[in-house]
Amino acid sequence: MEVVVAAFDVDNTLTVRDCVVPFMRRTMGTPQFMRACVSSPVTLTKWVLQRDRDAIKKYFVQKAFAGQSVADIETMAIAFASEVAESWIRNDVAARLRWHQDQGHVVVLVSASLDPYLVPFGDLCEVDAVLCTQLEEVDGLYTGELVGNNCRGDEKVRRLQSWMADAGIPVTSLGYAYGDSSGDSALLAAAHTGVLVKKTELEEAAA
């Protein structure tokens, strides 16, 4: 039987909103998050104007997680994942994901979201794999650094193809990909059927 892989972005694709910022605000607390926003205004403004999302992500990850207990964040992250699954899901895209599962397709989340909450979220969605931005941890504490690159753009394709190779799945088996932004363009282009999810409802999936 031919294997078919369906890859889904998460923020603003499978969910109705961004998840990264709310999670970091929760881990830091709103006052500390706001201080981080204003502590380096010139640098942050430069990154925003340059649309350097990777630099912005690394900055806030450092502020939010450096020195934090992995165990403490894990407890918070599991609760956050449940909240996302219960309240932030986009119904039409979730229905498409379930359709792929019903067809026996291999379903993978490929996202720039953070692994502490996205892995348990993936478990709740019963997907086959979660590929995302990973936080570095040493001796039970987060260092504030990333493991590898932010999982967006070409990195999404690299991560997915690497995972498929390790799983013994041909790269040509990437049948479907779903995303909502320029950060998903490479992933959509790599699939046989790339679906740019917009604000309008997705049409019924065709076999």
Mean of the per-residue pLDDT values for the chain? 90
Rounded to an integer, what distance in angstroms lies between the CA atom of residue 138 and that of residue 67?
Answer: 10
Q: Which residue has the tokens 């941890």?
A: 137
Q: What does the pLDDT look like over 142-188, one tens digit per residue?
A: 999 999 999 999 999 999 999 999 999 999 999 999 999 999 999 99
Residue 136 pLDDT > 90:
yes
Instruction: Report yes or no: 137 and 70 within 8 Å, Cβ to Cβ.
Output: yes
> What sections of the chain are H helices per DSSP?
20-28, 30-39, 41-50, 53-65, 70-87, 91-102, 115-125, 154-166, 185-190
Q: Which of 10, 152, 5, 178 is nearest to 81 (CA)?
A: 10
The separation between CA 202 and the C-alpha centre of its own chain, rounded to angstroms, equals 20
Give residue 26's region: left, alpha or beta (phi > 0; psi -120 to 50).
alpha
Residue 205 pLDDT > 50:
no
Ordered by where they begin, the domains of the chain are 5-196 (3.40.50.1000)
pLDDT of residue 189: 97
Q: What is the pTM of this model?
A: 0.90
**Mapping DSSP to helix (H, G, I), strand (E, B) and coil, where does residue 66 land?**
coil
pLDDT of residue 51: 64
Q: What does the pLDDT look like over 37-86, one tens digit per residue?
A: 656 665 666 666 666 678 888 888 998 899 999 999 999 999 999 999 99
Torsion of Cα atoms, 156 then 162 then 166 then 167, to 10°: 40
**pLDDT band for position 28 (50/70/90)?**
confident
